[in-house]
Amino acid sequence: MKKPQGKNIIMIKSIDKSTSIIEYSQIEIFDKCPLRGLHRKYTPVAGDKIFIYLDSNIPRFKLKRFCEQHKVSIAKAKESANVFFMNPDSANRDKQFYNEDYYANLIHKTYFLDYIKKATRVNDARFVPLISDLTNLSENVVYLQSTYNFTEYGINKYTLDIVREEDLDEDINGNVDSTLINTEERNKMFYIQTEDQRKAFDFIENKDFYHPDSMLALLNEGSVVDKEMYDGIMNLFESSDNNDHKVAMEAMANCDYEKSAVYLLMVFYHHQNKIYSSDTKTHVNFKSYLNFFKLSHGRTICIDDIIDKLKDKRLLNSSNLAIVMKEAKKIIKDTIESDTNYFVFTDIAPVESIQQEVAETDAEEALQQVQQPVAVQMPAPDPMGAITLADL
């Protein structure tokens, strides 16, 4: 990743209203985000050592299989890695590499330099270093973190007038003279790097840094929620951290819906309330998942709804029924035994119509898997022979 070209300017951190001493430092500013160079496509190479920054929203429980498949590994320390994944939103929030601000806090250097000279005695030791640093910098911009003490107290009670362009009339040549840069520029975002942030960025510069989406694209390619992944998603929803819920929902949204159907519906059955409370419910990928199963994030479903939705998608086969029945058995057992002291729950069985549905679906799937060079008339399957209660 290559950092964009920046500008070195002076940042005025603060001014002591009683002593007029100014605290300042030299910073680098950018018109473009320093992390804009994150790669969007990752091609794993055998031997890669991957370091994933915190809050990258990459589901860890899906990485084991990925690493085994591509012969890569996860590095515990970034110093030993050669491939990195970082969420730019998290990096922005943590302020590890840069800060954001608007051009509204930038003023012309020449104006600010004249102000200091007017407000101080010649060769005042408190301001000589600042005047020298301002003079030696080529950029005609100064960044004020706050203008309040300058406009209210000033240097030696000599206050700084902040004159905005819109408050001035144009001269005969159409020019204006304002202390702040022009109105159009003030609405733009810019990025700031302090010395410490610059040192942190030095580590990541010229290394292979990727956006988490590039890993998610690979993890979710043909991804199927099996029992192991289902347990991982359920554990994420059991967490009190909303970010874990987001990761779980992203895993749900980025998988093979048909092959994962029964577990995706089971997760929704158990955690619809947490899904409803998460902003991720409105993301495009998750809305696709909801639409696929005709779910509403604001409405719960029952165990029968899972059966109905599997039927609607022609996915109610014997293996999916067995998974739902295991959950249904627990639900019914808990319900019955909470109401009686004299009866013990033993077992459940699907109604005849469900048995018929499952038999037909199993036969259809078996037919689809048969690869024959010429069309052959297949014998009609016995609708009751494809599944028995013992198989469940």
* Confidence check: pLDDT of 46 > 80: yes
Local confidence band at 37 (pLDDT 50, 70, 90 cut-offs): low
1 or 362: which leads in pLDDT? 362
Local confidence band at 91 (pLDDT 50, 70, 90 cut-offs): confident
In three-state secondary structure terms, 234 is helix
Output the pLDDT for position 176: 37
The alpha helices in 220-300, defined as continuous H runs, are: 227-238, 242-253, 261-277, 284-292
DSSP secondary structure string for all residues of 170-215: --TTS----SBPPHHHHTSEEEEE-HHHHHHHHHHTTSEEE-HHHH
Phi-psi bin for 147: left (phi > 0), alpha (psi -120 to 50), beta? alpha
In single-letter form, the type of residue at position 204 comes to I
Local confidence band at 285 (pLDDT 50, 70, 90 cut-offs): confident
Which residues make Cβ contacts (< 8 Å) with residue 352, sequence separation at least 6?
none
Q: What is the pLDDT of residues 125-135, one digit of tens each?
A: 889 999 999 99
Whether the full predicted model's pTM is greater than 0.75, yes or no, is no
pLDDT, averaged across the chain: 82
Q: Would you give the distance in Å from CA 228 to the centre of its chain? A: 23
Q: Would you give the distance in Å from CA 322 to the centre of its chain? A: 35
In three-state secondary structure terms, 14 is strand
Give the mean pLDDT of 266-274: 96
Give the mean pLDDT of 71-94: 87
Give the mean pLDDT of 213-234: 87
Q: What count of Cα atoms within 13 Å lies in the side-chain half-sphere of residue 18?
A: 0
Local confidence band at 87 (pLDDT 50, 70, 90 cut-offs): confident
Q: Tell me the range of 286-295, 334-343, 352-361, 366-375 where mean pLDDT is highest.
A: 352-361
Name the strand (E) or helix (H) holding 299.
Answer: none
- The CA-CA-CA angle for residues 270, 221, 67, to 5°, reads 95
Which residues make Cβ contacts (< 8 Å) with residue 212, sequence separation at least 6?
52, 56, 57, 58, 85, 86, 87
* Confidence check: pLDDT of 213 > 80: no
Q: What is the pLDDT of residues 234-262, one digit of tens each?
A: 999 999 999 999 999 999 998 888 899 99
Round to whole Å and give the CA distance between 282 and 101.
28
- Of the ranges 22-26, 148-152, 218-222, 227-231, which one carries the lowest mean pLDDT score? 218-222
Measure Cα distances from 135 to 6, 129, 138, 145, 316 in Å. 19, 10, 8, 20, 77
Which of 319, 233, 228 has its CA nearest to residue 270? 233
Output the pLDDT for position 62: 79
Local confidence band at 170 (pLDDT 50, 70, 90 cut-offs): very low
Measure Cα distances from 305 to 264, 269, 294, 387 in Å. 13, 9, 11, 21
Output the pLDDT for position 312: 87
Q: Give 261: exposed, middle or buried? Use CB within 10 Å, 0-12, 13-18, 19+.
A: buried
Output the pLDDT for position 169: 45
Q: What is the pLDDT of residues 338-349, one digit of tens each?
A: 888 888 888 899
Q: Tell me the range of 25-34, 174-183, 220-229, 364-373 where mean pLDDT is highest.
A: 220-229
Domain regions of the chain by residue span = 1-219, 227-368
Cα dihedral sign, 50-53-57-61: positive
* E strand map for the chain: 7-15, 22-30, 49-52, 73-74, 83-85, 99-102, 106-108, 141-144, 189-193, 208-210
